[in-house]
A and B are shown apart, each in its own frame.
Chain A
Amino acid sequence: MKFFIGDLPVLFPYPRIYPEQYAYMCDLKRTLDSGGHCVLEMPSGTGKTVSLLSLIVAYQQFYPEHRKLIYCSRTMSEIEKALAELKALMKYRADQLGEVEDFRALGLTSRKNLCLHPSVKREKSGSVVDARCRSLTAGFVKEKKERGEDVELCVYHENLDLLEPHNLLPTGVWTLDGMARYGEQHKQCPYFTSRRMMPFCNVIIYSYHYLLDPKIAERVSKELSKDCIVVFDEAHNIDNVCIESLSIDLTEDSLRKAARGASNLERKISEMKDTDAQKLQNEYSKLVEGLQAADEARDEGAFMSNPALPDDLLKEAVPGNIRRAEHFTAFLKRFIEYLKTRMKVLHVISETPPSFLQHLKELTFIEKKPLRFCAERLTSLVRTLELSNIEDYQPLQEVASFATLVATYDTGFLLILEPYESDTATVPNPILHFTCLDAAIAIKPVLERFSSVIITSGTISPLEMYPKMLGFNTVVQESYAMTLARRSFLPMIVTRGSDQGSMSSGFQTRNDPSNVRNYGSLLVEYSKLTPDGIVVFFPSYLYMESIISMWQGMGILDQVWKNKLILVETPDSQETSLALETYRTACSNGRGAVLLCVARGKVSEGIDFDHHYGRTVLCIGVPFQYTESRILKARLEFLRETYRIRENDFLSFDAMRHCAQCLGRVLRGKDDYGIMVMADKRFAKKRNQLPKWISSALMESDSNMSVDQSVATAKKFLKTMSKPFPARMQDGVSTWSYEDLMQHKGKIDAERQLDGPMNGDADAYNMHGDQIMNEAQGADGMDVDADFDAAMNSMDV
């Protein structure tokens, strides 16, 4: 259907629209118009992606600026989904407009997923694929070939150079598969096609890392212009992605390999001195002049890029004491040797970068500045030496990245040395964590460079936490409730067992037999009453294991077994995917199954359990992080000191966002229904940290139940759900046709007229999402808001 938001004509590829989708689009447009950042929370399963795409594409095509869209998502499957939606949208637009627009959109993912080279693509690890590809495509390899040496090149990459550089790919929406097919047909590499075509695209869809990880962003996303619209979808974990992109772990093994790499370099240098000393001399004189950066930039396949953020790069010539190749390798060796010595310490050390540098200088006379240039210098050396088996140098590259980072950032980072893997281990297995504590560091360049950054997810409550942690201001910050024609999901908080003993995964009581038995009976009851699939989330693998073994002893598993198949998630992703497959088969053939998994595992993040794949989700315990982790402790302290976020507030926020993710797994659309059980007495105090759409559906009476009460309610709920509910009942309430939309719009306009003198009608078209939502909810007769307010005022803040 087609409608207007203000002056902007929007083509929406479905005949009906949800009120929250309309509200979401209005807020999006408001953000884009005002040119700022926003945080939006949209209930899961309400077509967030399609609303986002249709609004932004409309915006692009209508206004003369044609702002480019950069859509970032987390996983491959999400990227594929978004591309498919976009494709459908563009088809719809073409049908409606009667012409195919000049529009190009493509996805980008790692070489591993896109590579076509017959032997390279068979490599298992992504980093090996990258390294091998680099050794087939690097600039110097080609030069060698031109000189007539016998080196291998990748034809898929070579063919690209034969094409017009801005027209490697026809217009249209290219899914990853489509791209691979096109690449195979035309014998051109899909990965490099995507990368080179990025400046000529209207929409780019790729993973967070291409924007947030400085090592990649520098290469891939540098040329994007300032007025791009950046969207981070499924962004509830964005702070962790930011932190990981700047953190490095070193082990004894990796140091050993790095040392070997340095020795190899040394050998190569002396070889080259004998055969081609001129090349080294050329590099040297280039470094003296400080000419490095310029021709580095052109090499898209270069060995590595600087891990520091563009703003923090030192733009000057490489320091004199690492200019000579042999000086630099000796320098690296000394640094690695120093790190090895540090690893020998048998107690935990946490240290700030300045104090690390101080000690380093005292012991080895390594200064901060040459350390800062390590990454850059290494890249240049690898290029000069024309190394072909780049994958051997990865550990060395890691050390160089570490060197550069530690010498660049004084604050917001911490070095933590843990000599033992766990508290009980006796054999040391030291790990040096160089951990970033401040999520704002990595995302800062993105927020500063692009005028509109949209951060959105199904569960991103409390909204104000994200701007605080990431250090930015929003122009719009909104959470939408879900409009429903009937209550199609049932959130409950179970705090007690049938014996009235409280239930909790808290540290003191987690292994109490009575507590475990209560959890067990909860599972048994729900396995009896739920049709099809049940998903159970535990706070951690450790707790899951211990509770399962206790259940085994109590005979609880046997009782569940009578009703349903039991499957378990493990840290091994292959095993887990097998379990998932079995689970789906069991659900499909009617017997149903129970999937036991972990709140921070793979399942909780990327897998949907729509319809019969998930009718009940049980959250056993509040999924707090493991607070004894030193890295977490350091981060908590940092948050407190820098952003004044209290430790408990953060922990609770983090637990609840994961909980909300788990709960959201079972509800993937408005025609779906499901039961959400949060089983822990501590949930009762945390209910208003849930996303608005869940907490507004959580009745006061359902927020402190015992197991038997909840079972009774759930039975009642399922009974109503089993009644047929024709789609037309939703019309005008939870889905709007064009007429409904116009009618509601008219109502809002009328209201605005009433308080006209106050508002003026200058921004009459700038409809606010919350007005629309209020209006929509007023219409559907469900007294959700009152309930929500009650929740807000509940005294257990």
Chain B
Amino acid sequence: MSRAAQSKPAPAVKRPGGGGGSGGDAADGGRLHDDLSSLRVADPATESCPVCKSSRYLNANLRFLVNPECYHKMCESCVDRIFSHGPAQCPLPGCKRTLRKHRFRVQTFEDIKVEREVDIRKRVALVFNKREEDFEDLRAYNDYLNDVEDITFNLVEGIDVEKSNQRLESYRSLHADEIAANQHLAQEEKMSYKELQKQERQQAKLRREAAHREEEEERREAAETKRDMLNRLAMGTEDAETVAKEGQQVQLKRRMDRQAAAERQRQLQAASDMNNGSSNLVIKGLKSRKAPEPEAPIDPFGGLSFEGRQYYNLQDEYTWEVIQNPKKDKVVRAGGYDVMEQFGGRALCEAFSGLGVFVADETSEGVKGEQDERVAGTRRAEVGAKDVKMEDPF
């Protein structure tokens, strides 16, 4: 049993930082990583349990389990024995972690490091699940992938674990909605893919059966023709040559008929596939549904802007009594309204409404709006290129 020594875990576990993080699965991946390198599975035929030392050589049905808390491997019966009565400490020397029975599971990968890596990836993938179509361009997506991989890699290799975990968590809380939406999408895709596969298998089976039937039929017919021919020959009334010729022709004709029929069938099938494909068919190659855009605040005017200032500027003062008077009126000011805004703004707005169409804006040929000729507080929009003079309303 020279192998036993080899598969024993590293006896001394250095803990320079002094205990601490036993919280998350991989909170202190760095040290774990060191331990794990000695834990590679040896030759499966002579593998033995590090706890009770029974080996597969003696017991062919030996099954090993690991717990994602520390990834120490032990045999099923040891797990039963030690953890049946509730959580207990890992029996391996140096490992002080508390393990629960229900978290033990069969190891999927031979390399325990990969086993652990995949667990971490699972955790990361649940959070960082953006898709390519969420990004403006490929470059951005690739950069995103790169960042995610950095975080994952750090977690796996135990570099800056704290910081990486933090980044993960903060992202999770920031983008909770998006994450959920994409998760939903992925789930849906998976379901439809499974469904599709099932149907395809079904179809393939049907086609196979059809092909067999066809062949069977052909064989039967050939036999029949032959029998028929022999019978006729046996009667001896006809010339052998002609009988043979006829036989051939019958067979040829049948084959042609069958081919034609198959062709028709195929066309029909194709047609029906196209027409009522919706009945129970899963449609292939659909682009996965777009995630709905985040809802904007309600805009009752459908994007119409009232910031009509494009055409005029509100000045601080107007020597116009319609404005000046209310400004002095306590009753009016009591409400706290800005008189200029209310009265002046309204008046200007009314004056300019209906002038919404500006040729210069539409043709985009340089609104030469820089001619700030303030006539009574308005700016005249000038159409330079086309020489269309706007009448000044005032």
Interface of A with B (CB < 8 Å)?
288, 316-324, 326-327, 330, 333-334, 337-338, 340-341, 354-355, 358, 363-365, 637, 640-641, 646-648, 793, 795, 797
Chain B 181-221, CB-CB to A under 8 Å as 1, else 0, gives 00000000010010001000000100110010001000000
- Asked whether, in the complex, the Cβ of A334 is within 8 Å of the Cβ of B114, the reply is yes
B208 CB contact (under 8 Å) in A363, A637, A793: A637
> Which of the residues A320, A338, A341, A640 comes within 8 Å of B145, measured between beta carbons?
A320
Measured between beta carbons, the chain B residues less than 8 angstroms from A334 are 114, 117-118
Complex contact A317–B208 (CB within 8 A): no
Residues of chain B contacted by A327 (CB below 8 angstroms): 149, 153
Q: Is B33 an interface residue (CB 8 A)?
A: no
Partner of B156, one of A318, A330, A337, A641: A330
Cβ contact of A355, chosen from B109, B149, B197, B255, cutoff 8 A? B197
How many whole Å from B362's CB to the nearest CB in chain A? 39
B149 to A, closest residue via Cβ = A321
The reply to whether A640 and B114 contact each other, CB–CB distance below 8 Å, is no
Chain A proximity of B84: nearest CB distance (Å): 29
| B46 on the A face (CB < 8 A) | no
Closest CB in chain B relative to A385 CB, distance in Å = 19
Q: Chain B, 270-303, contact with A by CB distance < 8 Å: what is the 0/1 string?
A: 0000000000000000000000000000000000
- The answer to whether the Cβ of B77 comes within 8 Å of any Cβ in the partner chain is no
The listed residue (B142, B204, B207, B251) touching A319 by CB distance below 8 A is B142
Picked from A322, A324, A330, A795, the residue with its CB within 8 Å of the CB of B244 is A795
Q: Once the chains are docked, how many angstroms separate the CA of A528 from the CA of B156?
A: 77
Question: Does B144 sit within 8 A of A, measured CB to CB?
Answer: yes
Given contacts A317-B139, A324-B146, A640-B211, contact A330 B111 (CB under 8 A): no
Q: Verify A320–B118 contact, CB threshold 8 A.
A: no
Asked if B327 is at the interface of the complex by the 8 Å CB criterion, the answer is no
Question: B204-245: which residues lie under 8 A (CB-CB) from chain A?
Answer: 204, 207-208, 211, 215, 244
Q: Which of B141, B149, B248, B255 has the most CB of A within 10 A?
A: B149
Could you tell me if B122 and A321 are in contact, using CB atoms closer than 8 angstroms? no
Known: A320-B145, A637-B208, A640-B211. A333 touches B114 (CB 8 A): yes
Residue of A nearest to B146 (CB): A320
| Chain B, interface residues (CB within 8 Å), range | 35 or more
B residues less than 8 Å from A355 (CB atoms): 197
Taking the closest CB of chain B, its distance from the CB of A317, in whole angstroms, is 6
Q: How far is the CA of A354 from the CA of B169 in the complex (A)?
A: 33
B39 to chain A, nearest CB (A): 14
Q: With an 8 A cutoff between CB atoms, is B110 at the interface?
A: yes
Asked if residues A795 and B114 are in contact (CB atoms below 8 Å), the reply is no
> What 1/0 flags go to B116-133 for Cβ under 8 Å of A?
011001100100000000
Q: Inside 8 A of B211's CB, which chain A residues have their CB?
A: 640, 646-647
CB 8 Å contact bits of B93-113 with A (1 = contact, 0 = none): 000000000000000111100
For residue A330, which residue of chain B has the nearest CB? B153
Q: Is the CB of A323 within 8 A of B108?
A: no
Q: Determine the chain A residues whose CB is within 8 A of the CB of B139 once the complex forms.
A: 317
Residue of A at shortest CB range from B214?
A646
Which B residues touch A316, using CB under 8 A?
Answer: 138
- Per-residue contact bits, chain B 246-281, to A (CB 8 Å; 1 contact, 0 not): 011001100100000000000000000000000000
CB distance from A294 to the nearest CB of B (A): 17
Contact with B148, one of A321, A341, A364, A641 (Cβ below 8 angstroms): A321
Q: Is the CB of A365 within 8 A of B121?
A: yes
CB atoms of B153 and A317 under 8 A apart: no
- Distance in angstroms between the alpha carbons of A795 and B208 in the assembled complex: 28
Given A321-B148, A338-B109, verify A797-B142 contact (CB < 8 Å).
no
Given contacts A320-B142, A341-B108, contact A364 B153 (CB under 8 A): no
Query: B residues 11-43 with Cβ under 8 Å of A?
Result: none
Q: List 7 A-B pairs, Cβ < 8 Å.
A: A319-B145, A321-B145, A333-B111, A337-B110, A340-B109, A648-B215, A793-B248
